[in-house]
Amino acid sequence: MSSEFQTARQRLEKLREEIHSHCHRYYILDQPIIADAEYDALFQELLDIEQHFPQLATDDSPSKRVGAPALAKFNQVEHHFPMLSLENAFSDEDTKNFEERLHRFLKDHSPINYVAEPKLDGLAVELVYEKGLFVLGSTRGDGRIGENITANLKTISSIPLRLITDMTPERLEVRGEVFMSLTGFQQLNYDRGEAGEPLFANPRNAAAGSLRQLDSRLTALRPLDFYAYGISDPSIVPSTGQMELFSFLGKLGFKINPLVRSCASIDEVADHYRHLLEIRPDLAYDIDGMVVKVDSFALQERLGNKARSPRWAIARKFPASQATTRLLGVDFQVGRTGAITPVALLEPVSIAGVTVSRATLHNEDEIKRKGIRTGDMVLVQRAGDVIPEIVQPIADLRTGREKPIHMPQHCPSCGHALIREAGEAAVRCVNPHCPAQRLRSLIHFAGKSGMDIEGLGKKAMEQLFSENLVQNIPDIYTLEAKQLQSLDGWAQKSAENAIRAIKTGKNVSLARFLAALGIRYVGEVTARLLEEHFLSLRQLAAASREELLNIEGIGEQMAQSIIDYFGDAQVQDMLQKLADLGLNPQKQTVVSAGLPLQNMVFIFTGGLTSLSRNEAKELVKKHGGQVSSSLSKKVTHMVCGEKPGGKLQKATEMGLTILSEEDFQQLIAK
């Protein structure tokens, strides 16, 4: 196995965990920590590696996903047709390449008509109408399953509750964007500031947070608006293309963006992009680019979809907002895994309407690569979200008083000597007793990405840590309401609610608990993978290196991290205390009795054409079957797509039932 292959595999593992984490923060928590441009770069790097090493592509890769899972506090809704994401274009050349791909796929170089639409920075939703009445509204979620937010959507006056024409089909699924005007956003934040409530980062977060209110009366107070941009199944309406569909939706009573344009060529698309970019500062709402679609539904059908995006559409993104300011100093923060992150302290500057005073410097290599010095005038980029970044120093403005930035030799929190492991960019504190690491780990454990204990957010955990009430994970489960009530900001009800949440949270799945522990290299995806192979925490803790490496998706680095974690005496003591306190995570069991595929174990090989590999696996699980990632004696059926490879011959020799993609679809249908 080549060193290049090994390096690519390790980088992919890290990228997938990072991207899944950022998706969770963006779509679920509405608390993004990187700019769009940074996320796009991570995602593009992942796509490039998977394209170069296709054998490393996995079904749980972010490249196969759209959005994020539905919030548990809302009922789930399954979309009849997936709500897909869009590929991005960042230049005129990218959009021309998009057209060239269309011609190659169609094997036809005839002119193509396009529709260009402003890309609103809001929340995608689906509205279901039956006999002209609005009966169901949901978020995009992971593209297949979203959150039922019908009551909240009904409070938005631009969403019709009853369609105004008899032309509507029996069932119509309309898709569009919920957004908040800039004026409404500013007023909302002003009111929240006056009330002492935390401010929203931007209109997109404000809109998403408003739609996720459990009390729709609160949503009704928010200045939300809606533009329709499509339907799930164009074949059921009397429209031959996207522009005709906009006209049809307008007649039904939907609000259509007036800046939608029909373009006879890709050059006209580029012209409209420049027009939108020019008028963007004067718009009443925020847009982060332009969506380009093939106008003809017949061509859209021929072009079809890829795993996570349609072939017939692309998002032309606007460049990130930038400004210049002075770098005053650097703060070194300690993360929960001990990584030391340099954060730039900036002379406050307004970027896209937001005052920025801090920016990420990423790591030591990035600082050296960009040649950034304290005292520099720097170009700062903010791509619409929370943490800006320094793009580059402006060397021509240097006075000679600027100073090089040096990473600390000792931990800013505990004073322990820092190390930098071979092949890693991060400088790290390896002291397991480091207070900063312990605090960050506790915040992660109790937070949304961990056990999701209501009432124990970041500020609460910082307070409990500083008051010495919680110094380790078991301490959380020994808290009493009277202890919380004695602290500033806690009332009897909030204290009792927190203790109730702690107690009810003891019944937790193995996967969620593993993700909450914060084991290095073990994120939500890996945690679910481990849960598939181990019945209990005790069984996983006793697993050998060989057992772990036999699991597809677990590499050398990850296996060693798991072994080191469970081999630590302090970890063993902590887990025993948690068990004594009644916390005993177990593998989640799925009831399959009576379902048509029970007792069947499927493995997939080759490329599927009618649905993605992920969708096929979900169908198996939904109908009571199991999915295996490798050939073994427990496998009963193999589904073969295009170019199945060597697995087919081995499966035939093992006597498995071999199904074509069509056979599989028929089996599911039965």
Which domains does the chain show, CATH number per domain?
3-64 (1.10.287.610), 76-317 (3.30.470.30), 321-408 (2.40.50.140), 435-580 (1.10.150.20), 601-669 (3.40.50.10190)
Q: Which residues pair with 359 in a beta bridge?
A: 344
Amino acid 44: pLDDT: 85
Average pLDDT over residues 186-213: 78
From CA 635, how far away is CA 629, in angstroms rounded? 10
Amino acid 449: pLDDT: 79
> Across 168-223, where does the E strand assignment appear?
171-180
Tell me the pLDDT tens digit for each residue of 518-568.
898 888 778 888 988 888 888 999 999 999 998 877 889 899 999 999 998
Q: Which residues contact 347 (CB under 8 A, 6 or more apart)?
A: 325, 326, 328, 357
Single out the residue of 80, 159, 81 nearest to residue 122, CA to CA.
Answer: 159
Average pLDDT over residues 271-289: 88
Backbone angles phi, psi at 128, to 5 degrees: -105, 125
* Reported confidence tier of residue 383, pLDDT bands at 50, 70, 90: low
Tell me the pLDDT tens digit for each residue of 597-648.
888 888 888 877 777 676 777 788 778 888 776 677 788 999 988 777 667 8
**Least-confidence region, from 100-109, 198-207, 485-494, 599-608:** 198-207
From CA 237, how far away is CA 63, in angstroms rounded? 31
Single out the residue of 177, 249, 230 nearest to residue 207, CA to CA.
Answer: 177
Angle between helices 435-446 and 510-517 (to 10 degrees): 150
CB distance 16 to 24 below 8 Å: no
Amino acid 97: pLDDT: 94
Q: Which residues pair with 171 in a beta bridge?
A: 130
What percent of the chain clears pLDDT 90, i.e. is strictly above it?
41
CB distance 194 to 220 below 8 Å: no
Torsion of CA 18, 41, 294, 299, to 10 degrees: -60
CB distance 8 to 14 below 8 Å: no
Question: Which token pair is 126?
Answer: 């689906």
From CA 509, how far away is CA 500, in angstroms rounded? 18
Question: Which token pair is 387?
Answer: 């943490």
Amino acid 419: pLDDT: 92
From CA 151, how far away is CA 240, in angstroms rounded? 33
pLDDT exceeds 80 at position 272: yes
Distance between first and last Cα of the chain: 44
Single out the residue of 142, 214, 154 nearest to residue 178, CA to CA.
Answer: 154
Single out the residue of 80, 85, 90 nearest to residue 62, CA to CA.
Answer: 85
Q: Is the dihedral of CA 208, 214, 216, 218 positive or negative?
A: negative
Amino acid 28: pLDDT: 44
Amino acid 385: pLDDT: 43
Average pLDDT over residues 406-432: 90
Q: Which residues contact 650 (CB under 8 A, 6 or more apart)?
A: 631
Q: How far is residue 531 from each of residues 106, 376, 537, measured CA to CA in Å? A: 44, 49, 9
From CA 588, how far away is CA 242, in angstroms rounded? 44
Amino acid 412: pLDDT: 93
Backbone angles phi, psi at 430, to 5 degrees: -105, 15
Q: How far is residue 447 from each of residues 111, 306, 571, measured CA to CA in Å? A: 52, 34, 20
What percent of the chain clears pLDDT 70, i.e. is strictly above it?
91
- Residues marked active site are found at 119
Amino acid 290: pLDDT: 96
Amino acid 384: pLDDT: 42
In the predicted model, what is the mean pLDDT of the chain? 86
Q: How far is residue 70 from each of residues 432, 507, 538, measured CA to CA in Å? A: 35, 20, 30
Tell me the pLDDT tens digit for each residue of 305-352.
887 789 999 999 887 677 789 999 999 999 888 899 999 999 998 876
Amino acid 32: pLDDT: 63
pLDDT exceeds 90 at position 297: yes
Backbone angles phi, psi at 121, to 5 degrees: -95, 80
Higher pLDDT, 257 or 424: 257
* Reported confidence tier of residue 295, pLDDT bands at 50, 70, 90: very high
Residue type, 563: I
